[in-house]
Amino acid sequence: MCNFNKQNEETKLFISMFMKKAAQNIGGENFLLSLMEAMKLKKPHPLMLKECQIASNNTIIKWNKKVFKDKIDVLEELILTHKSSENADFNILENDNAKKQKNILNMVKTLSPIEFVIKPQNPNDGSGFSFKVFDIVSDKNVKINPIFVAMFFCGTEFTKKSLKYSI
């Protein structure tokens, strides 16, 4: 998931187009990358912040619910399992272990309503953008949004490659 070069062409194109449009909507690529750097500095994990927001010099990301460590641990395990995978569209519900399956379902129920809103601090820089944790949520299929993974789990190198990608 975090190796841009191993993504299929469709996923590369989607991530690239989204990141380019997102950067444009907040004032440019440097604003997006500086926000991601600010997010990486938050420990133990940015999603666990009580304030539910992170600001850089030019942009701010806000979300509507604090995430607790147990949910982040489940999410990180899933992402680490598939981090170098070429298949970004894996179904996170495909798990043989019943206990893990229950933990995954609980995590999905907790994180599904969360929406991330990124806005420039100067309204003249753009209108901002938003995204959710999951792309698809149904009874038998849940797929993690690659934009969420890029913003919170991959390094800025991934985003830089996506911004430079062209067909």
Measured CA to CA, the distance from residue 75 to residue 58 in angstroms comes to: 29
Q: What is the mean pLDDT of residues 26-40?
A: 94
Residue 167: per-residue pLDDT: 73
HSE-CB of 145 using CA atoms within 13 angstroms: 19
Statement: residue 76 has pLDDT above 80: yes
Furthest-apart CA pair in the chain: how many Å? 50
**Residues 97-132: tens digit of each pLDDT:** 788 888 999 999 999 999 999 999 998 999 999 999
Q: What is the mean pLDDT of residues 30-42?
A: 93
23 touches 29 (CB < 8 A) = yes
53 touches 63 (CB < 8 A) = yes
* 5-14, 63-72, 93-102, 112-121: least confidently modelled range: 93-102
Parent domain of 109: 4-164
Residue 133: per-residue pLDDT: 93
Q: pLDDT confidence of 142, banded at 50, 70, 90?
A: confident
Measured CA to CA, the distance from residue 83 to residue 49 in angstroms comes to: 24
Statement: residue 94 has pLDDT above 90: no
26 touches 38 (CB < 8 A) = no
The number of domains in the chain is 1
Q: Decide: residue 99, CB within 10 A, 0-12 exposed, 13-18 middle, 19+ buried.
A: exposed
> What percentage of residues in the chain have a pLDDT greater than 70?
94
Q: Which of 110, 111, 151 is nearest to 130 (CA)?
A: 151
